[in-house]
Amino acid sequence: MKQRSMEDRFLEFGLIDQLARADSRLHRLDPRAKLLTTLFFCALVVSFPRYSVLAILPLLLYPVLLSAMGELPLAYVARRTLPALPFAFMVGIFNPWIDTKPVASLGPLLISGGWLSFTSILLRCILTVSSAIILVASTGISQICLAFQRLGAPHLFSLQIMFLYRYLFVLTAEAVQMVRARNLRTFGRRGLGPGPFASLIASLLIRSLDRAQNIHRAMVARGFRGEIQPLRQSRWRRHDTFFVLLCILACSTIRLWNLPQAIGGWLLQLLP
């Protein structure tokens, strides 16, 4: 059961490349437009004050609308975002005990600044990670690296990102094969001591290096000379400019104008 679940996770991890080969309005945009929008969105998210919670909530529309535009399963984006939450949780878990000064109230309940900053950290993590996942799932890693290069990033930087991503699949595939072989030899018994575990890691490293060298020789034999060759050619069009400007305008409006507070004040004025 453990081996099968590991293989299932590996297949689900590889699904992101299948999603990147789809054809939707979001997929047809120039990779530079999506990359610039994602970078601006992430920078804008982290620019909010530490106690901002309600003001950040409207930005949740960004990953939802982009997922719908790219016909991406929202459940898949959510599952890929969840593994990042424990890191954000560990960053802000002590805030409620460090910052105990009340800064807001919910009826008779006083809310300290630590709880607000902790919630804000979790929201920022969800927004930034989900936007990055949508970028990769709608563009593909090779197109993103090419977009970095066309925007002026160093050539070696783009290649390093692409190879790092690709060889994660090589390392994971070797690990899946080794776990399958171990389960067949131990009849599925669980538990692995320090000695066998160290041997397993060393064997995984050696096999991954051999696999990487074979892949490199195959790439050189097929004419690879250090240039990124995307499967889908793209060029900047007017709708790319419109997409970037619309996203920047909408996100900037949310950043400069507290929409939940404004809507709440408007509703209070309507009450008798």
CB 63 within 8 A of CB 130: yes
Q: What is the pLDDT of residue 197?
A: 65
- Is the residue at 207 inside a domain? no
Is 84 within the bounds of a domain?
A: yes
In a domain, 122, yes or no: yes
Expressed as residue numbers, the domain containing 110 is 22-140
Q: Which uninterrupted H or E stretch holds 102?
A: strand 102-106
Q: Is 249 contained in some domain?
A: no
Helices of type H across 57-154:
61-69, 74-81, 85-92, 95-98, 113-139, 141-150
With respect to residue 172, please indicate whether it lies within any of the assigned structural domains: no
Residue 80 lies in a domain: yes
Q: Is residue 176 in a domain?
A: no
Residues in CB range of 64: below 8 A, 6 or more apart:
74
Q: What domain count does the chain have?
A: 1
Q: How far apart are CA 61 and CA 68, in angstroms?
A: 10
pTM (2 d.p.): 0.80
Predicted confidence pLDDT, tens digits, the chain (272 residues): 344 455 555 556 667 778 888 888 998 999 999 999 999 999 999 999 888 888 899 999 999 999 999 999 888 899 889 988 999 999 889 988 888 888 777 777 788 888 999 999 999 999 999 999 999 999 988 888 888 888 888 878 888 888 787 777 777 777 777 777 777 776 656 655 566 667 777 777 787 778 778 877 887 887 777 666 665 667 888 999 999 999 999 999 999 888 777 777 777 677 66
- The answer to whether position 190 is within a domain reads no
Closest CA to 84 of 131, 47, 49, 116: 131
- pLDDT of 15 reads 77
Contacts of 124 (CB under 8 A, 6+ apart): 45, 46, 48, 56, 88
**Stretch (H or E) spanning 237:** none
